[in-house]
Amino acid sequence: MRLIIKGGHVIDPGNMDAVVDITIADGIITDIANSADDFRQKDCHDIRIIDASDCFVVPGLIDMHVHLRDPGHEYKESIETGIRAAAAGGFTAVCCMPNTHPVNDNRQVTEYIIKTAAQFHSVKVYPVASISRGLKGHDLSEYGELKEAGAFAVSDDGLPVSDSQLMRRSLEYAKGVGVKVISHCEDPDLSAGSMNEGLMSTRMGLAGIPNAAESIMVMRDIALCELTGMPVHIAHVSTKESVHAIRDAKLRGVPVTAETAPHYFTLTDEAVRKYNTNAKMNPPLRSTDDRNAIREGLADGTIDVIATDHAPHSVLEKEVEFDKAANGIIGLETALSLGLKLIEEGDITFETLIRKMSINPSKIIGIPRAVIVGAPADLTIINPTRSYIYDVEKGFSKSKNSPFNGWEFKGMAVYTIVNGRVVFESK
């Protein structure tokens, strides 16, 4: 099976920026040329040509922070539906967090996720195992065995590692095993609230979560990173102070990387108005100042990655009292459009966006990716001008908890290609 992508504007930051044709055979990029041979006459059954004129062709997008809810909470999402949502959002790979049921702190769960995902020959799934056994924050999970089973990183995402000694040991031990550590930064004593602390929480009478609940832990993890010399990746950065701390640390040469989510550079706590539980997440949506700082952090390289923190929840968890509602929103199917909106608003360039959504996550998780001959054909084709109205009911995720329902977007993934296979194409 051959695939030819014709006439697309290939943007592979640092490698290529040109209108070329890409030929793919058996899942591998076999040719990149100004004009590909037209194979149609020779072998018309075994070839597919995609017209990518007016589109960008980029190295496949990677979402390094999703919750697939499988095993255990399949009524919210399954590996199958999560993969379909990812493909529809232009992602060729996702990294799934370990807060499943049972927790991914053992070989069986890691292998289950990898095997299940592989059945669909679609989006690649890279499991993240837990830092602590059972996410309980007491003992280390067995990183050695988890790595053998296929986990590339560890995180207690959803919960902070409160015990600084445990965090230190995790970084040190992970260094020996060769897994990444991803930190959910939150001081649980400071974060006993259900939205951002500020004007809105005061008006709405909801207990607030101050910025310091996050930045204190970011600063701690930077200190531990300096102590151990082991890189740490900070998940879902939401505050100005965290951006400042990470920027300063990077200037000192500390091996820290960071991600933010589209909702943090798009929305503020105003979105919670009328007790909208689809705008409730942890960390919470912050102030305009914070949102602007996140955008600056993306532009100047302080924040390396855009990841969705795709967190499916059903109406059972969301159509309830605000303070009792579960944290999190789905994001796989809106991330790229929200990123493109950021370009439209002049905050970042297209190239920067592709770095944040593909190149940088690939480096952090250690999966090389490039649009070069001989590389696996994981590609996303983006039509930057096609407009649409996002209808969450028509989405692929099992859950519908999005604050972006009904938003008008310009630009979307039109083809998602994994190992040379078209795993999504928009109608």
Partner 1 sequence: MTWNRKDILDIESLSVEEIKSVLDTADGLKEISERSIKKVPTLRGKTVILFFHEPSTRTRVSFDIAAKRLSADSISISASTSSLVKGETLIDTARNLESMNPDVIVMRHSSAGTPYLLSQKIPTPIINAGDGMHAHPTQALLDMMTVREHKKELNGLRIAIVGDITHSRVARSNIVGFRKMGAEVRLAGPPTMIPAGIESLGADVVYDFEEAIDGVDVIMMLRIQKERQRNFLFPSEREYAKRYGLSMARLKKAKPDALIMHPGPLNRGVEITPEVADHINSVILNQVTNGVALRMALLYLLAGGLRNAADH
When the beta carbons of 72 and 193 are compared against partner 1, the nearer one is 193
How many helices (H) and strands (E) in the chain?
A: 13, 18
CA–CA separation, 158 and 99 (whole Å): 7
For residue 195, the minimal CB distance to partner 1 (Å) is: 10
In the complex with partner 1, which residue's Cβ is closer, 39 or 275?
Answer: 275
Are the C-beta atoms of residues 265 and 290 closer than 8 Å to each other?
no
Q: How far is the CB of 201 from partner 1 (least distance, A)?
A: 7
> With the CA atoms of 368, 383, 67 and 276 taken in that order, what torsion angle do they form, in degrees rounded to the nearest 10?
150
Which residues are at the interface with partner 1 (CB under 8 A)?
A: 197-208, 274-275, 316, 319-324
Shortest distance, position 76 Cβ to partner 1, whole Å: 17
**Closest CB to partner 1 among 199 and 389?**
199
Cβ neighbour number for residue 116 with a 10 Å cutoff = 17
Distance in Å, CB of 291 to partner 1, minimum:
17
Considering the complex, state which of residue 1 and residue 316 has its C-beta at the smaller distance from partner 1. Answer: 316
Active site residue 139: no
CB of 322 to partner 1, least distance (A): 5
State the catalytic residue, choosing from 221, 269, 309, 347. 309
Q: With respect to partner 1, which residue has the nearer C-beta, 94 or 206?
A: 206
Distance separating alpha carbons of residues 294 and 263, to the nearest angstrom: 11
- Distance of closest approach, residue 289 Cβ to partner 1, in angstroms: 13
Using alpha carbons, select from 413, 279, 389, 408 the residue that is nearest to residue 336: 413
Q: What are the strands, taking DSSP E only, across 239-368?
A: 256-260, 305-306
| Cβ atoms of 162 and 188 closer than 8 Å | yes
Task: Give Cα 68 distance to the centre of its chain.
Answer: 12
- Distance from C-alpha of 129 to C-alpha of 290, rounded to nearest angstrom: 30
Closest CA to 200 of 270, 284, 266, 263: 270
- Rg of the chain, C-alpha, whole Å: 21
Angle formed at CA 36 by CA 34 and CA 42, multiple of 5 degrees: 165
Task: Check if the beta carbon of residue 312 is closer than 8 Å to that of residue 330.
Answer: yes
Q: Which is nearer to partner 1, 301 or 406 (CB)?
A: 406
Q: Would you please indicate which residues are annotated as catalytic (active-site) residues?
A: 309
